[in-house]
Structure 1
Amino acid sequence: MKMTINLRKVLFFLLTLCLIGSAYAQDTALKEAEVAYTKEDYAKAIELYEGILKSNGESAAVYYNLGNAYYKAGKIAPAILNYERCLLLDPGDSDARFNLQMARQKTIDKI
């Protein structure tokens, strides 16, 4: 009985440690992406935001930032896609909605 309680405590501690480590890694990656974006290194920012999504799952804020990075890099279609993904997770995000409208205005159908 005592062994089971100790094992549970150890497992709980290890799980908590893993979660803290994961949160720290995401925070570090987000800061790196923000720095890259600020330095106008949009390719690096895109790479970092994509990595964050792959390792941590969906996030409206990350999709929004990724959309901005794509937009600044002149890649309008992926910018629109990521603004739409942001709005699926957070339909009330007025900044994402505004940026989506701006990006859509940049697309010109020549048919």
Structure 2
Amino acid sequence: MKMTINLRKVLFFLLTLCLIGSAYAQDTALKEAEVAYTKEDYAKAIELYEGILKSNGESAAVYYNLGNTYYKAGKIAPAILNYERCLLLDPGDSDARFNLQMARQKTIDK
């Protein structure tokens, strides 16, 4: 009985440690992506944001940032896709909605 309790404590500790490590890694990757975006290294920022989504799952904020990055890189179709993904997760995001409209206007034939 006592060994079971100790094993539970150890497992809980290890799980907590893994979660903290994962959160730290995501935070670091987000900061790296933001720095790349600021330096106008859009290819690197895209790679980092895509990696975050792949390893941590969906995030409205990451989709929004990825949409902005694609837009700045002149890749309008992927920008639209990522703004739409952001809005699926957070329909009330007015910035994403505005940016989506701006991106769609770029695709209209004149």
Fold match (TM-score > 0.5) = yes
Once residues 98 and 67 of structure 2 are traced to their aligned partners in structure 1, the CA distance between those partners, rounded to angstroms, is: 12
What SS class does the counterpart of residue 105 from structure 1 fall into?
helix
Once residues 109 and 6 of structure 1 are traced to their aligned partners in structure 2, the CA distance between those partners, rounded to angstroms, is: 67
In the superposition, the TM-score normalised over structure 2's length comes to 0.98
Q: After the TM superposition, which segments of 4 or more aligned residues of structure 1 sit over 4 Å from their partners?
A: none
The unaligned stretches of length 5 or more in structure 2 are none
1:4-43 pair list within 5 angstroms: 4-43=4-43
Cα deviation per residue 1:37-70 (whole Å; 9 max; x = unaligned)? 0000000000000000000000000000000000
What SS class does the counterpart of residue 16 from structure 1 fall into?
helix
- The equivalent residue for 2:93 is 93
Once residues 3 and 56 of structure 2 are traced to their aligned partners in structure 1, the CA distance between those partners, rounded to angstroms, is: 34
Q: Number of aligned pairs?
A: 110
Cα deviation per residue 1:4-50 (whole Å; 9 max; x = unaligned)? 00000000000000000000000000000000000000000000000
Once residues 109 and 51 of structure 1 are traced to their aligned partners in structure 2, the CA distance between those partners, rounded to angstroms, is: 33
Once residues 104 and 42 of structure 1 are traced to their aligned partners in structure 2, the CA distance between those partners, rounded to angstroms, is: 20
> What is the RMSD computed on CA atoms of the aligned residues?
0.9
In the superposition, the TM-score normalised over structure 1's length comes to 0.97
Cα deviation per residue 1:60-104 (whole Å; 9 max; x = unaligned)? 000000000000000000000000000000000000000000000
* C-alpha deviation, 1:108, in angstroms: 2.7
Once residues 55 and 81 of structure 1 are traced to their aligned partners in structure 2, the CA distance between those partners, rounded to angstroms, is: 19
The unaligned stretches of length 5 or more in structure 1 are none
Once residues 25 and 5 of structure 2 are traced to their aligned partners in structure 1, the CA distance between those partners, rounded to angstroms, is: 30
Once residues 72 and 95 of structure 2 are traced to their aligned partners in structure 1, the CA distance between those partners, rounded to angstroms, is: 15
* C-alpha deviation, 1:109, in angstroms: 4.1
Once residues 41 and 101 of structure 1 are traced to their aligned partners in structure 2, the CA distance between those partners, rounded to angstroms, is: 24
